[in-house]
Chain A
Amino acid sequence: MTDIPADEPLHEVTVVVNGVPRAAAVPARRLLSDFLRHDLGLTGTHVGCEHGVCGACTVLVDGRPIRSCLQFAVMHDGAQVTTVEGCSSGDGGLGPVQQAFRDCHGLQCGFCTPGFVTTITAYLDENPQPSEDEAREAIAGNLCRCTGYQNIVASVLRAAELRGSTGEVAQ
């Protein structure tokens, strides 16, 4: 039997999400994914497995992709977090990766999509002009049950093209 204290202590956690400081008091065991979704109301980040395999919950912490279902919110007090909601363009329209998914039909049900968008956003920062093989490799840690990935690979290439033409880079 797990021992849970009758009154679970709460910890104030502050993160800068998509450029905006947000705070909530949560138990130490609160997952970062639940913190973002349910404490901060940013439900764009999805949870497909809660054991670190599907990648749907991927967010960027200080620019690096992490699986928010495998981390506690308290581990990230003070961090800069980018979620899919923050992958939009400056004017609030679709950002280049999001637009590329639309252009290439890179999503069907859309449940896995936020994890792909964040993963690809970080990837293109590192490798702005991937080959097709590199694009396929870049998304090889995320599961999608709908698309068969072909159009997601195309989306990666298209996003690189769009970023190149607008000169836009992620925060």
Chain B
Amino acid sequence: MTTRMLGAPITRREDPRLLAGQGRYVDDIGAGALEVAFVRSPHAHARIVDIDVTDALDVQGLVAIYTHEDLPGRVGEPLPLLIPHPALTHGRTPCALAKDEVNHVGEPIVMVVATSRYLAEDACDRIRVSFDFDPPVVGIENARDGAQLVHDDVPGNVAAHLVQEVGDAAAAIDAAPNVVELDLDIERSASMPMEGKGVWARWDSDDRSLRVYTSTQASTSVRAAVAAKLGLEADRVEVVAPDVGGGFGVKIVHPWPEEILIPWAALTLGQPVKWTEDRREHFVSSAHERGQLHKVRAGFDDDGRLLGLDVTFWHDNGAYTPYGIIVPIITSTQLLGPYKPGAYRVEFFSLYTNTVPVTPYRGAGRPQGCFTMERTMDAIAQHLGLDRTVVRERNFIQPAEMPFDHGLTFQDGRPLIYDSGDYPASLEKLKKLVGWDEFEQYRTAARAEGRRVGIGLACYVEGTGVGPYEGGFVKVETDGGVVVATGLTTQGQGHQTAFAQVVADELGVPIDKVTVTTGDTRRFKYAVGTFASRAAVMSGNAIAVAARQVREKALRVAGEALEADPRDLEIVDGVVQVKGAPGSSVPLATVAVLSNPLRYAFDEETQRATQFASPADPDRPPVAEGDSPGLEGTGYYSPPRSTFANGMHAVIVETDPDTAEITVLRYCVVHDCGTLINPRIVEGQIHGGVAQGVGGALYERMVYDDAGQLLNASFMDFLMPYSTEVPAVETDHLETPSPLNPLGIKGAGEAGVIPGSAALASAIEDAEGFRITRMPISPSELHHLRVQHELASSAEKGLEA
């Protein structure tokens, strides 16, 4: 019997290549291409008066300079708004090169093409752009105030306004015996993959085709966008996501201006052209996320059960809305987590500011939602003097209540219905893992040593595997190798391993026979992309469907060759054999030959196959109606709706009584993402997510000044955690299979990051004894809060006296 691959923590098949320095990332490709640099806006809000390129013209190696005026037809029109929504009444997108005005520092104004990047930057240095300044709108308060406008025709800076309500939340809260109110604030961060964006393009004038390599999370959609913008038939455009050095959301946006401009320049100049984003460009021109202000009112009974929840929040969408309002929609629905909120009303405003546009970053609105709900849970516990885990337990949706319909509309436009999950069991595991019930002893002992410690927790539910679909292609070659392709892309999730595991099991072949290609439109044309923790769910299942078709055909063809009923056959280690009589068998390689009536004897396998070939029936066509040559299958998976994973994190922190330094002593994770394809890969995803969660809670923020300058646009000043800042993660897991898909998988990619700020705020609050409402929090901010708190409590004491 072949060892089962699904669920096996095997090492990754892509690693030897990547470890040997043989990866192929965009900037590794296409030596000798012309190179692009951009003149980007140094101002947050201004009108372009003049662009003077005279001084740049004598730069050695200069090939071309383009401004918006030079862009023909659709190339110069505003970029598409990807996900329109009726509530997004004032969506705005930029042009690929700024037309007349700029709305954030970093917006591209001039594209320079030269024989090297060094020379292109020389030319950029010599281009003079003059501006008339408009007052910049920076920060949610200023945007909300509406005194200054980002876009003249968008009143109040409101891009979108949406209300969803189930029951009468205001009435429920007013009637409740207890009410808490909270103002909660999360700051901006960003995906910040180690590889920035990059595009290479070549027009083949003989073949009349365009090849584009781009560091994207959605190559098929880039292809459609490029074809439409450049007026080419999609069939003449090939887009490949080669090895991609991390994405975390920012590379799902498409087309980025450069994804249109570089192919257009290659087409126009008739030469290969490339652009590699540098780190500063990435900071000021790729997307950010997270910045939101929230106002919460919660009404609850004396046991801590929610009766009504009313949340209003303001979302900073930056200068444009290329990705619609997905992020605030997710916050508004996913903040409910594993709880029954009673009556629920949520309202949000998505606001323009003169800053980098906001699009999903791993977690996509969920960290803010989780922070909002979990801070509320802690506030309820504090109000009633109850243990924080008890309040959560009392509000959990119970396993017997699954599937649970919240009566709301989720990000995919489908009803928000949780498919499965066992939250009480998860919490039980977490309490055990972290030692929740023993913590008070630990605190007492620590206190005796003059140390200040605290424990916190946070729970989340994550809708994963959003539709509409993904596809998979599986083919057995005549040498017995199995090639697999799916259209979605890979940025480090180990798809070449995980999808091979699926195929190895479904087809009964050794895994080293299987080769997987992702994100290459030459190999698979239809796909949605890698985001929303959907790749394993969507492509995993689609590939399983395709593999099952191949298996069925293999058994049919082998059955004819072996004169056996296909139902009596099995495939073991790449050989089709009669169950219980392994002597009667035919290798899959041979079956692949037999399934194609055209059999030139190119290889030994084809020669060998002739012994199995039955004489053709002269009265029937060689390929029967409805059949096709070859041993291959294409399958799609399209779910009715998302599947909901969940998890809970607990964290123990120590805060220094003098310096207010915050140290994470322990970080515990319990997660449930259904059936695991490869536990090692899932664990790695959790580790990486936690690191980003800790970064977002303690270190990372985008610091804009009032003029809209991003003050920390480098790795020197934007503090991403190093190994010394990330705690060791202790994990435990449940596997509650999803009933929605054949493999029972739920997504895992984003999970680790979601509860980071919520759990750390909970622990810091527990250590300090006063409420934490803003994240991230630095030692100096914590120190400041201590001072404020002491002042307030001594004033209170003074009053009492």
For chain B, give the interface size range.
Answer: 35 or more
The answer to whether A150 and B687 have CB atoms under 8 Å apart is yes
Which of A2, A7, A105 makes the CB contact (< 8 A) with B125?
A: A2
Judge whether A27 and B118 touch: CB under 8 Å.
Answer: yes
Contacts of B752 in A (CB 8 A): 148
A114 within 8 A of partner (CB):
yes
Given A51-B715, A101-B19, A113-B18, A136:B724 Cβ within 8 A: yes
**Chain A positions within 8 Å of B79 at CB level:** none
How many residues of A are in contact with the other chain, CB < 8 A?
61
Q: Is B245 on the interface with A (CB-CB < 8 A)?
A: yes
Interchain nearest-CB distance for A48 vs B (Å): 4
Contact residues in B for A108 (Cβ distance below 8 Å): 246, 492-494, 684-685, 688
Chain A CB count within 10 A is highest, among B60, B684, B720, for B684
Q: Is the CB of A147 within 8 A of B20?
A: no
Answer whether residue A29 sits at the interface, using C-beta atoms and an 8 A cutoff.
yes
Q: Is B122 an interface residue (CB 8 A)?
A: yes
Q: Please give me the residue from chain B that is nearest to A42 by CB atom.
A: B21
In the complex formed, the residue of B with least CB distance to A136 is B723
Q: What's the least CB distance linking A161 to chain B, in Å?
A: 16
Q: Provide the residues of chain A in CB contact with B27, threshold 8 Å.
A: 37, 43, 47
Choose one: A2, A42, A107, A111; the contact of B193 (CB below 8 Å).
Answer: A111
Interface of B is mostly: loop
CB 8 Å contact bits of A111-125 with B (1 = contact, 0 = none): 111100100000000
Q: B195 is contacted by which of A46, A85, A149 (Cβ under 8 Å)? A: A46
Which of chain A's residues have a CB closer than 8 A to the CB of B59?
A: 4
Q: Known: A1-B55, A145-B692. Is A111-B19 also a contact (CB below 8 A)?
A: no
Known: A109-B194, A146-B492, A150-B687. A98 touches B20 (CB 8 A): yes
- CB neighbours (8 Å) of B687 from chain A are 147-151
Nearest chain A CB to B511 CB, angstrom units: 15
Contact with A along B704-735 (1 / 0, CB 8 A): 00000000001110001011101011000000
Within 8 A of B (CB), among A1-37: 1-2, 4, 6-8, 27, 29-30, 37
A residues within 8 A CB of B193? Answer: 109, 111, 145
Residues of chain B touching chain A, judged by Cβ–Cβ distance below 8 Å, are 11-12, 14-16, 18-25, 27-28, 31, 55, 58-60, 118, 122, 125-126, 192-195, 243-246, 248, 278-279, 491-494, 680-681, 683-685, 687-692, 714-716, 720, 722-724, 726, 728-729, 752
Q: Would you list the 10 A-B pairs with minimal beta carbon distance, nearest first?
A: A44-B21, A111-B245, A109-B492, A110-B18, A108-B492, A148-B687, A148-B691, A43-B28, A53-B715, A149-B723
Name A's B-contacting residues (CB within 8 A).
Answer: 1-2, 4, 6-8, 27, 29-30, 37-38, 41-51, 53-54, 56, 83-85, 88, 94, 98, 101-103, 105, 107-114, 117, 136-137, 139-153
A–B pairs, 27, beta carbons within 8 Å: A1-B55, A1-B125, A42-B21, A43-B24, A43-B28, A44-B20, A45-B21, A49-B279, A53-B716, A54-B194, A88-B20, A102-B16, A102-B19, A105-B683, A105-B684, A108-B494, A108-B685, A108-B688, A109-B491, A111-B25, A111-B246, A136-B724, A140-B722, A143-B715, A143-B722, A149-B691, A149-B722
